[in-house]
Structure 1
């Protein structure tokens, strides 16, 4: 977790500490005690107590079952709602994502490009997916995903190199590609094909096909991803069947003013 230097007079340390308390639940989803919060957020127990009390008062934390520990509060969902309704791209993409999912019968998602990561903002799943893999807000490494590489295929070579150089994400499976030279090859292939393909890199047994969404200036801002099972498809069959549908969807969404 990074923090701004103390010499930055515009940076409010107390606000940053409060946000750090909320963020520590990303790696620790179970109820946390005050000692846990103090340890994970690198603060003393007194500071942790004040932060937790304030966040409970505001609704961003709640007490766990039987008052044991702290969990994230329901009020965080309100801020998620505020964000989702404020992004024109998501409003315009929603009916398109619904149509593609119905036509393909596979999981379809829209992820937003956020430098070293992509973050899922719209997800339409099938019945066979597990709960956590279908939630919005999940972040994955740009370099390790079909969506991220589809986005990178629209960036200058120096920007691609910069993302690769700064990425430190842990591979999600034994099949995740980590070699920088191979990642560059996959990005170049995505640029030539109009879509990126990843096999078992995010989840074993799963194929991911993705194409980038561009803003009105031609800059990549998001990607649409279609995911299927290797139990149903070969990689070649999946790409042949769904790449035209995927490219058509991203082209229909790209180039519109006011998307970002």
Structure 2
């Protein structure tokens, strides 16, 4: 299939803007996506005309437009990712005896969209609809590790971006980069007590057809476990969901 650079750039703009907590200046978009300023301006102008981007003139910033919201609403109604992931997650719970969940990135948070609770296991804070800081969760780290470095830098421009829950976890971009490097090296993400004391998680990224992360898939546990087995099962399930998301 031939490449369509303009379409690819437009989609990357939408993905970048969707990850921001507020509209951002044109220069920041251009830097994050490694585009010449003039190219970014013409691309953004076309997207404004089509309603996918809105120009906040008073602030000289750009954010998602109504057309992007309509697409997001349609996606939410159809819930394709949730539908694809629910059965593999249930099977993961059966094989591991631990609670499993799926989360998507939302700004600097992860939003939990599926949870399959293991029988007899304690309730977690990862109910559907809950948001948690991405840099503290295994699911979020799995997603962030699969994002371009420029996008991670844009999400965490300074120390104020790093919120705290339990006094543990990265508090700077350099510390987060070290965590993400380890995540990429091992092929999975971990967190231990950084979200809830006494609980730990293992996660892997679910990748879309472009190789970018669509979600983070995780298992949360407490007490002694066969960690290599959990890692293998989580990675296996994330690969399965990735393949199904790509239509394979």
Short-chain TM bin: 0.5 to 0.7
> Whole-Å Cα distance in 1 between the matches of residues 209 and 75 of structure 2?
21
CA contact 1:84–1:90 (8 Å) conserved in 2: no
1:248 maps to what in 2? 236
SS in 1 for 2:161: coil
- Aligned with 1:152 (options 131, 144, 151): 144
Distance 1:251 1:174, change over 3 A: same
TM-score by length of 2: 0.65
2:214 maps to what in 1? 221
CA contact 2:156–2:162 (8 Å) conserved in 1: no
- Aligned with 1:104 (options 90, 96, 105): 96
CA contact 1:112–1:221 (8 Å) conserved in 2: yes
SS in 2 for 1:100: helix
**Residue 190 (str. 1) matches residue 183 (str. 2):** yes
Distance 1:221 1:115, change over 3 A: farther
> Whole-Å Cα distance in 2 between the matches of residues 165 and 255 of structure 1?
33
CA contact 1:214–1:222 (8 Å) conserved in 2: yes
1:223 Cα deviation (Å)? 0.8
1:135 Cα deviation (Å)? 1.8
> Whole-Å Cα distance in 2 between the matches of residues 103 and 192 of structure 1?
25
> Whole-Å Cα distance in 1 between the matches of residues 163 and 107 of structure 2?
16
- Aligned with 2:167 (options 150, 170, 174): 174
CA contact 1:215–1:257 (8 Å) conserved in 2: yes
RMSD over aligned Cα, in angstroms? 2.7
- Aligned with 2:201 (options 189, 199, 208): 208
CA contact 1:125–1:134 (8 Å) conserved in 2: no
Deviations 1:182-235 (A, max 9, x none): 211110111121100111010001111110001111110101011111x334xx
Highest Rg: 1 or 2? 1
1:162 maps to what in 2? 154
CA contact 2:99–2:121 (8 Å) conserved in 1: no
> Whole-Å Cα distance in 2 between the matches of residues 183 and 140 of structure 1?
16
> Whole-Å Cα distance in 2 between the matches of residues 110 and 257 of structure 1?
14
CA contact 2:162–2:170 (8 Å) conserved in 1: no
> Whole-Å Cα distance in 2 between the matches of residues 96 and 255 of structure 1?
12
SS in 2 for 1:250: helix
TM-score by length of 1: 0.62
2:110 maps to what in 1? 118
1:11-90 mapped onto 2 (5 Å cutoff)? 86-90=78-82
Count of matched residue pairs: 181
> Whole-Å Cα distance in 2 between the matches of residues 257 and 208 of structure 1?
23
> Whole-Å Cα distance in 2 between the matches of residues 83 and 114 of structure 1?
15
CA contact 1:217–1:255 (8 Å) conserved in 2: no
Distance 1:108 1:120, change over 3 A: same
1:140 Cα deviation (Å)? 1.0
> Whole-Å Cα distance in 2 between the matches of residues 194 and 92 of structure 1?
22
